[in-house]
C-alpha cells in the first residue's frame, strides 16, 4: 500500500482522493481552510441555501457520470424554461426558445434570422471546430446577421461563462454547448454542498484522512509516494516554485436573493441578449429555500475584467427590478459577491497545462483550469481522475 497526499479540499481534491483511495492506497487530504468545498461550498442562511453564485451540474458531463458511478447522492431539476422564462433585449421580453415551434413563433427574429438560428443550433449540436479556432472566428463562419450573433453569444456565455470570444477556444465551447443542448443541466437540491458532503463521506469510508485547517508551505516538506495539487495556479507556483503559463480568468458578479415569495408576474429565468446579464430562480427547480420562499441569482458575466462593485450592483438591482417587479418588498436575505472566480484559467487556443505540466517526479496538478477535457466542474473532475492515475504510474525523474 502506497501513501499519497492530496492538497486541496474542493471538487478536484475530493475526486482525486476518492480515486486514489478506491485503488487501495493510503490517502491524506489537506485543506488549508476550516471547511471542505472551495468554490463548491454552499451557505445556509435561515433555510436559504446559497451557492457561490449560480451553479449547474451538466447531466451528461464527466462530473455527473463519475458521481453516479460512485453513488454520490444528488438530485435536482432542470432550469425553468417552460414557464415565465425569457430572453430580454432592450427591456422587451421574448419567451425562451426551446424547440422548433417556439422558434417559428418568436418575435425575436425575422424569417431569414429564424432559418439562420435553426442552422446555428444544428451546428452547435454537431460541435465541430477547426483546430485552435477562436469562437469569434467560428461564429464568423456560421452567422451572418447581428441579431443571431447576439443570440449565439448569449448561449455561449450561459454555457461557458465567457464573454471574450476572441480568446475562447471554439472546440471547448462547442463541446460545452452541445452537452447542454443534448442532456441539459441540473440545479441541485441542497446546493453543491451535497456533492462535497457525499464525496467526503465516501472518501472517509475508504480510509482517507481528511484534515482541514492544514496549510502547506511547500511540497518538499511532505513525505509521500506522490502528491496531487488540487489548488489554484498561484498556490501551485507557491508550493512548487514552478512558473505556470499566464491564463485568462473568468469572473462573475452575483447578487444572491433569498425572497419570501416570488413577486407577481416575476420571471423564473431571464437572460439578456444585449447585456451580459443573467437571472434565474434556482429554487423553481431545486430545493434551496424554505416553504414558500425563492432563491434567485442575478448575475453579470465579467470575463477577465474587474469592474466597479457599486456600479455593478446598481446594474444588477436595476435588472432585478425589470424582471422581478417589486422584489425589494420580498427580500429575506441578500448577498452581493462582486468578483467571483469562475475559473482561474479559461480554455483558449493555447492549451491549458495538463496534470504533468510541472515536470516533477512525484507531483501532479488538478482543477477546473487543468487539461484538455471539459469546462468548470467537468474539467475539475476529469483532471483529478487523470492526476490520480498519472501519480501512480512509474515516472522519470525531472531533469
Tell me the pLDDT tens digit for each residue of 142-169. Answer: 999 999 999 999 999 999 999 999 999 9
Domain that holds residue 47: 42-95+184-190+250-343
> Rounded to whole angstroms, how far apart are CA atoms 290 and 148?
40
Residue-level pLDDT at 284: 92
Residue-level pLDDT at 81: 80
Domain CATH for 15? 3.40.50.720
Residue-level pLDDT at 395: 60
Note whether residue 268 is domain-resident: yes
Residue-level pLDDT at 398: 45
Note whether residue 289 is domain-resident: yes
Note whether residue 262 is domain-resident: yes
Do 22 and 78 lie in one domain? The reply is no
Do 49 and 10 lie in one domain? The reply is no
pLDDT beneath 70: ranges in the chain: 395-399
Do 372 and 228 lie in one domain? The reply is yes
Do 365 and 232 lie in one domain? The reply is yes
Element (H, E) at 67: helix 62-69
Name the one residue in this structure whose C-alpha cell is 507531483: 363
Residue-level pLDDT at 1: 83
Distances (CA, A) of 184 to 56, 59, 98, 222, 269: 9, 6, 11, 42, 15
Other beta carbons within 10 Å of 214: 14
Note whether residue 397 is domain-resident: no
Domain CATH for 328? 3.90.660.20
**How many independent structural domains does the chain possess?**
3
Residue-level pLDDT at 238: 96
Note whether residue 102 is domain-resident: no
Do 131 and 196 lie in one domain? The reply is no
Distances (CA, A) of 328 to 118, 168, 335: 39, 37, 13
Note whether residue 330 is domain-resident: yes
Of the residues 327, 343, 359, the one at which a domain ends: 343
Distances (CA, A) of 82 to 79, 96, 98, 140: 9, 8, 8, 31
Do 240 and 386 lie in one domain? The reply is yes
Of the residues 182, 204, 222, the one at which a domain ends: 182
Q: What is the C-alpha end-to-end distance of the chain, expressed in Å?
A: 28
Amino acid at each position: 500500500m502506497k501513501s499519497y497526499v492530496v492538497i486541496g479540499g474542493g471538487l478536484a481534491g475530493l475526486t482525486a482522493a476518492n480515486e486514489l483511495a478506491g485503488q487501495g492506497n493510503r490517502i491524506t487530504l489537506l485543506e488549508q481552510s476550516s471547511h471542505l468545498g472551495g468554490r463548491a461550498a454552499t451557505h445556509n442562511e435561515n433555510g436559504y441555501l446559497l451557492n457561490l453564485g449560480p451553479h449547474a451540474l451538466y447531466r451528461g458531463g464527466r462530473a455527473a457520470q463519475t458521481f453516479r458511478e460512485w453513488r454520490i447522492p444528488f438530485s435536482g431539476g432542470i432550469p425553468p424554461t417552460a414557464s415565465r422564462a425569457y430572453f430580454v433585449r432592450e427591456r422587451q421580453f421574448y419567451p425562451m426558445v426551446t424547440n422548433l415551434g417556439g422558434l417559428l413563433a418568436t418575435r425575436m427574429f425575422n424569417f431569414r434570422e429564424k432559418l439562420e438560428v435553426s442552422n446555428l443550433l444544428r451546428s452547435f449540436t454537431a460541435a465541430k471546430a477547426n483546430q485552435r479556432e477562436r469562437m469569434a472566428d467560428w461564429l464568423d463562419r456560421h452567422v451572418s446577421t447581428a441579431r443571431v450573433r447576439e443570440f449565439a453569444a448569449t448561449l455561449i456565455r450561459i454555457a461557458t461563462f465567457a464573454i471574450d470570444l476572441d480568446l475562447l477556444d471554439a472546440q471547448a465551447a462547442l463541446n460545452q454547448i452541445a452537452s447542454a443542448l443534448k442532456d441539459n443541466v441540473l440545479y441541485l437540491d441542497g446546493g453543491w454542498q451535497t456533492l462535497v458532503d457525499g464525496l467526503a463521506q465516501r472518501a472517509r469510508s475508504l480510509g482517507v484522512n481528511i484534515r482541514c485547517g492544514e496549510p502547506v508551505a511547500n511540497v518538499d516538506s511532505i513525505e509521500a509516494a506522490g502528491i496531487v495539487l488540487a489548488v489554484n495556479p498561484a498556490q501551485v507556483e507557491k508550493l512548487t516554485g514552478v512558473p505556470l503559463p499566464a491564463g485568462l480568468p473568468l469572473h462573475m458578479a452575483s447578487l444572491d436573493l433569498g425572497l419570501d415569495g416570488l413577486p407577481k408576474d416575476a420571471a423564473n429565468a431571464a437572460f439578456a441578449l444585449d447585456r451580459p446579464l443573467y437571472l434565474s430562480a434556482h429554487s423553481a427547480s431545486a430545493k434551496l429555500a424554505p416553504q414558500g420562499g425563492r432563491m434567485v441569482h442575478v448575475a453579470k458575466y465579467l470575463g477577465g475584467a474587474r469592474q466597479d462593485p457599486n456600479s455593478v450592483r446598481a446594474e444588477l438591482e436595476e435588472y432585478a427590478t425589470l424582471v422581478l417587479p417589486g422584489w425589494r418588498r420580498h427580500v429575506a436575505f441578500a448577498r452581493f459577491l462582486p468578483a467571483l472566480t469562475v475559473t482561474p484559467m479559461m480554455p483558449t487556443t493555447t492549451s491549458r497545462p495538463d496534470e504533468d505540466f510541472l515536470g516533477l517526479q512525484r507531483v501532479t496538478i488538478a482543477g477546473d483550469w487543468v487539461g484538455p477535457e471539459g469546462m468548470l466542474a467537468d474539467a475539475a473532475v476529469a483532471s483529478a481522475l487523470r492526476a490520480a492515475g498519472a501519480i501512480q504510474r512509474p515516472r522519470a525523474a525531472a531533469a
